[in-house]
Every structure is written in C-alpha cells, then in structure tokens.
C-alpha cells in the first residue's frame, strides 16, 4: 500500500513523503521515503536517511523500539566521502562470499546508507571472459549507493578496472589492501601491498587519475606489527588524492584472530586529515559508539558479527542516529528473514547454486537458536526453497514451545 502524505515537526517545513505499509511474517513496519526539494534528502533531525544525500532518496525503516540503560545517544555527524554525505556512518564490510546483492539489500533495509560489493580481481576483470566477475559484483541497476571493491597489484589493470566499475554504476571504488588470505597475498594483492609503498603510490596515482567518483582504500593495522605500514599507506592515500580510508584494526599476521587494536584508529586520525572508518570487533551498538567516542572513528564498518544477524546493523544505525535502541528481533522475525534471504539468493543465483551458497548463512542464523542442530542439518540438505520453508515451519512451533517453557526469548541484536 502506498500513500502520499506530508509531515512536519520541530519547526521544519512540511515535506512530501511516500509511505509504504508492508508486513513480513509476524511483524510490520513503516518505510518512509523522504523526498526533499531539488533532489536533496532533507530528513528532520533525529531521523536516519538510510541513503546518501547525493542520490536524492532516503529510506527510514522503523520497528518498535525500546530504551536500554543507555537510552538514545547523541547523533553523530554525517561522513563525507568526496561529494557524498552518508548518515549515519554505518557500513557493512565487504566480505568474500557474503556481500552479494541479497546481503546488501538486507543491510540497506537496516538503514546502512552505503553498501559494499565483494572484492573482484582486476586481472580477472581484464580477461576476455569477465562474466563471472560481473556476476560476483551483481550491481547492475542496483538502487542506492554501492561501493565496488577491487584487488590486485598491477597499476594499469587496476586503473582500467576502476574505470569500468565507475561506468557500471559504482558510487565509490575501493582498493582492497587488507585481505590476509594466502592465495591473494601470494599474488601480491590484498595486505601484501602494505609492504610495498612505492608500488602503492603508483597504484593510487593511476586509479585516482582514472576515476571521477570517490576513491577509497581499506587496509590492515600493519603486516606483522601495528603502526608504521598503516601510517605510510594512509599518508600516501592523502597525498595522492584519495577520499577516505578504512582500517581493519588487526595485522595481516593476526588474520581474523586475536583482538582488534582500536587505538590504531586514533593514531591514523592524528596522521592524516582524511576520514577514517574503523573496522574490527564491532559486535554491538555499544562497541560502535565507543569506537567513535573514544577512538575517533569517523564511521563504523561491521563485518562477521552481522552475518546471520543483520539486526546488529540496525541497532548501530539507531544508536548513531540518536534514536532509542530497537527491540531485539523476535523468533519469527529471525526465521522469516532467514527464509527471505534464502529466497533472494535462489532468485539471484538460481535455486540449486543459490541455496548451496546460502549454507554458510544458515550456520550463522542458527547460532541464535537453542536446540537447532536438527534444523541446521536439515537445512544443509535442502535443495529447493519449498524444502527450506517446510523445514522452518516444522521448527517454528518447537522453538516457541521451548521458549514458552523458559518464559524468555533470548535473542538480543
């Protein structure tokens, strides 16, 4: 159902909006698309735009909210990357095998104003058969801002790939200098570039010259130890005209183990004037708030903690928007979202391949449910969407009965 209405408040002029009333499973919400004058998004204070103002359309998803002990925090300022403004500055991290079109759609629904593709190889993009790489990106006619991430080590191939990504509709192009995987590092890509500042400068210069959209880089806190390599990359990024940097606050040697070293974020802020987006160990809205307040991050990037739990993104969006923390997702909302995620992957990738690739998400969604081993095993064997639906519907009354006996629903976002 669509209704054209106007809203006003806090002394602001009446703004035209389109209200979409929808229901998903057992819950409903309002989706407000704010349309400001001249194509610029102008939501009233305290409202999350959910989209870049540069694209002239914004989405605010609202669910029933509750106040936690911290209540509603003060809203953080927008993050400017080039000529674009993103508010609140909460972004899903680019993750191989995860950041596909359906995952990006879920992140947008939770209010993220910018989403990232999976990384693609510049060498693969330059070969004659590029269909697989474009399939990984899957960004054709994607609504809203999207950052396309590329990796590689050849300045010419990287610059040409960047140009093609911009032509394909990328709002931002990002260079991956953080991937710790041996296959990528042995090809001199990902975090291996951090040890080669002269090559990095050439790459930055060629890619910057090839692009008219904003150009960013994501790197690690260092190769084996924290510090100088990250500082060098950040300074090179500033000198060569990049628009922002993102740092995963672990070293390449750590991979995804150990604890992220958030003080590196504050140190980078002291080294350069570019916006610094922090990444690593953000598992709650409290973490995100602390990364900004105590360590100076200009924006928050959330990775593995959001897998199977996209509501974490929504919780952080609410906190950084200055709104009350949202209510935790219910059992039915979790099950419905998992099913819809599977359906979207089957639609985008074909039922057989899409559901096979969805199995990694099943593992993450199932972490929230007690006594779900049998359901997880059954879902891993499903080959059709109908089989997924049948398995979930058989599990639904079982988990409700279990929780009714315990008089609780322990699923925090």
Whether residue 88 has a cis bond before it, omega within 30° of 0: yes
Phi, psi (deg, nearest 5) at residue 359? -60, -35
CB neighbour class for 167 (10 Å; exposed up to 12, middle 13-18, buried from 19): exposed
C-alpha 229: how far from its chain's center?
26
CA angle (174 as vertex; 359, 117 as ends), nearest 5: 25
Under DSSP, the state recorded for 96 is T
Is residue 21 a contact partner of residue 30, using CB atoms and an 8 Å limit? yes
Is residue 364 a contact partner of residue 307, using CB atoms and an 8 Å limit? yes
C-alpha 49: how far from its chain's center?
16
Is residue 302 a contact partner of residue 91, using CB atoms and an 8 Å limit? yes
CB neighbour class for 171 (10 Å; exposed up to 12, middle 13-18, buried from 19): buried
Task: Cite the DSSP H helix spans in 89-227.
Answer: 101-109, 122-126, 131-137, 155-167, 182-186, 197-210
Catalytic residue among 147, 179, 364, 382: 179
Under DSSP, the state recorded for 65 is B
Residue 179 is a catalytic residue: yes
Crossing angle, helix 351-366 and helix 373-380, to 10 degrees? 170
Strands 2-9 and 276-279: unpaired
C-alpha 17: how far from its chain's center?
26
- Residues known to be catalytic: 179
């Amino acid at each position: 159902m669509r209704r054209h209405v106007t809203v006003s408040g806090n002394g602001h002029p009446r703004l035209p909006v389109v209200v979409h009333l929808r229901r998903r499973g057992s819950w409903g919400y309002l989706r407000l698309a704010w349309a400001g004058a001249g194509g610029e998004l102008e939501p009233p204070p305290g409202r999350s735009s959910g989209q870049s103002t540069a694209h002239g359309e914004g989405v605010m998803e609202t669910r029933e909210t509750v106040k936690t002990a911290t209540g509603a925090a003060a809203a953080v300022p927008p993050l400017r990357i080039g000529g674009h403004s993103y508010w609140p500055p909460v972004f899903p991290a680019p993750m191989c095998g995860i950041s596909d079109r359906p995952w990006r759609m879920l992140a947008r629904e939770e209010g993220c104003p910018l989403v990232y593709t999976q990384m693609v190889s510049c060498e693969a993009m330059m070969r004659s058969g590029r269909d697989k790489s474009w399939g990984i990106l899957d960004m054709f006619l994607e609504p809203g801002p999207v950052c396309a991430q590329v990796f590689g080590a050849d300045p010419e191939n990287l610059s040409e790939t960047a140009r093609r990504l911009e032509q394909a509709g990328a709002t931002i192009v990002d260079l991956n200098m953080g991937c710790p995987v041996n296959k990528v590092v042995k090809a001199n890509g990902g975090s291996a570039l951090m040890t080669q500042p002269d090559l990095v400068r050439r790459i930055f210069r060629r890619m910057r010259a090839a692009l008219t959209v904003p150009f960013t880089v994501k790197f690690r806190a260092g190769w084996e130890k924290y510090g100088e390599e990250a500082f060098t990359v950040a300074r090179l990024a500033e000198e060569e005209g990049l628009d922002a940097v993102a740092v995963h606050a672990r070293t390449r040697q750590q991979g995804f183990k150990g604890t992220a070293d958030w003080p590196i974020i504050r140190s980078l802020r002291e080294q350069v004037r570019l916006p610094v987006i922090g990444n690593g160990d953000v598992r709650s809205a409290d973490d995100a708030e602390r990364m900004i307040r105590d360590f100076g991050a200009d924006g928050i990037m959330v990775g593995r903690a959001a897998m199977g739990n996209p509501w974490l993104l929504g919780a952080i969006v609410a906190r950084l928007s200055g709104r009350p923390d949202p209510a935790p997702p219910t059992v039915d909302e979790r099950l419905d979202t998992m099913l819809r995620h599977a359906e979207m992957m089957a639609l985008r990738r074909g039922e057989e391949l899409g559901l096979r690739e969805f199995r990694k998400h099943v593992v993450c969604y199932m972490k929230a449910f007690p006594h779900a081993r049998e359901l997880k095993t059954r879902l891993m064997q499903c080959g059709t969407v109908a089989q997924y639906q049948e398995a979930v519907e058989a599990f639904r009354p079982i988990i409700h009965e279990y929780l009714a006996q315990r008089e609780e629903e322990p699923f925090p976002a």
